[in-house]
Amino acid sequence: MVKSGNRGNAEIEAILAGAGAVPAAAGDAAGDGPGPGGAAAGGPDRARVPLRELMDDRLLDALLDRSRDEAGGLRLTGEGSMLGELVKAVLERALEAELTAHLGYDRGDRAGRGGGPGNYRNGTIDKTVQTGVGPVPLRVPRDRAGTFEPLLVPKRSGRVAGGLDDMIISLYAHGMSVRDILHHLEQVYGTQLSHETVSRVTDGVLEEVRAWQARPLDPVYAVVFLDAIVVKVRDNHVVQNKPAYVAVGVDADGEKHVLGIWVAKTVPGDGAAGEGAGFWRAVMTDLKNRGVRDILIACCDGLTGFQDAITSAFERTVVQRCVVHLVRNALRPVARRDAGEVAKELRKVYTAPSAEAAFDALAEFSASR
């Protein structure tokens, strides 16, 4: 067990080097694993090896020792945490690989430089970036010509692309305000961001949302399911319940696709905030404008005016009442203790193989009362 609590990253790297790099898998030792004639080192076979088998025990001991807090607990996230140390090591390794690819030769490879006055390494610069596990201090390598542009940690960017942005968008999508997101990131991960930074991240996804909402659709769908769900939406700094109109289509290959999600703009407290056939008419018009020419079957509930809203855009579409809504309405007058048995009998009706069999099952159900 490593006892020193002041080990630096250089010592951790030395532990890795002293362990003989990465331990080989059993197949490698026998000569039948990935090798010169097999999969590459970073290939799929390599990716299936458990990470634990690729890490030396002394490295894990050092990480555990460095990540203990004063009470002896383990800090997984935040500054100086175990995950932070791992992220730091991985990012610095990746940045060094980026610079090697940019220069065209490995560190210390003078022959690769050709001995000429070309571009070469020029030390590192300290930089702290915000990640999904908290702030991570990095040593970003530089080149003498100043032409190296890291992709993983871009210049003049204080965040690692991907992880933290995805976390901010997820928190925002769950209804948290910008202030709540800032408080959450600081309390849980020790990450401090400005209000403008979080707003920039959440606004950046809007263009992708608009592109998805306006994307072209297939000309024909075999079945389209139409329904609305009530969700909490933050609008003008007010959280209110609004219906989200959802259309799910089944294409000619039997694949399901979400054709769109629409939310009506209503005034807070307005009585028209519920589901309405008028807005469904606008939804069907939008589907038609995006390339849909025909829908064979439209499955919906019994909302007044719904069928007219569908046929106004697609005249030949067969409108079928959703079986779930039919059964739900049929069970409303049934006592709760009898609902299970009644639903079981109704299932024989709506799963019948033909119309005649359905009528026979319905007659049998009526006679059993």
More confident residue, 261 or 180: 261
SS3 of residue 127 by DSSP: strand
Same domain, 302 and 180: no
Same domain, 119 and 176: no
Q: What is the pLDDT of residues 126-138, one digit of tens each?
A: 888 777 677 778 8
Same domain, 292 and 235: yes
Determine the average pLDDT of the residues in 50-59.
Answer: 74
With 50 as the cut, is the pLDDT of residue 7 above it? no
Domain end among 158, 180, 204:
204
Structural domain for 237, as ranges: 217-321
Same domain, 192 and 255: no
Same domain, 30 and 144: yes
Q: Is 162 inside any structural domain?
A: no
Same domain, 312 and 278: yes
More confident residue, 59 or 17: 59
Same domain, 264 and 292: yes
Determine the average pLDDT of the residues in 38-52.
Answer: 56
Residues whose CB falls within 8 Å of the CB of residue 171, separated by 6 or more in sequence, listed in order: 180, 181, 184
Q: What is the pLDDT of residues 171-204, one digit of tens each?
A: 777 767 778 888 877 776 666 677 777 777 777 7
Same domain, 18 and 84: yes
- Segment among 187-201, 248-262, 276-290 with least mean pLDDT: 187-201
pLDDT reported for residue 250: 95
Q: Is 354 inside any structural domain?
A: yes
Same domain, 284 and 317: yes
Q: Is 192 inside any structural domain?
A: yes
Listed as own residue / partner, the contacts of 53-61 with beta carbons closer than 8 Å and 24 or more positions apart are 53/23, 53/25, 54/22, 54/23, 56/15, 56/16, 56/19, 56/23, 58/2, 58/15, 58/18, 58/19, 59/12, 59/15, 59/16, 59/19, 61/1, 61/2
Domains: count for the chain: 4
Q: Is 1 inside any structural domain?
A: no
Token look-up 């969700």 returns 231
Pick the closest to residue 305 from 282, 333, 332 (CA basis): 282
Same domain, 273 and 289: yes
Domain end among 204, 231, 250:
204
- Segment among 21-35, 95-109, 332-346 with least mean pLDDT: 21-35
Q: Is 66 inside any structural domain?
A: yes
- Segment among 69-78, 119-128, 247-256 with least mean pLDDT: 69-78
Same domain, 122 and 230: no
Q: Is 17 inside any structural domain?
A: yes
With 50 as the cut, is the pLDDT of residue 340 above it? yes
Q: Is 3 inside any structural domain?
A: no
Q: Is 356 inside any structural domain?
A: yes
Same domain, 224 and 185: no
With 90 as the cut, is the pLDDT of residue 238 above it? no
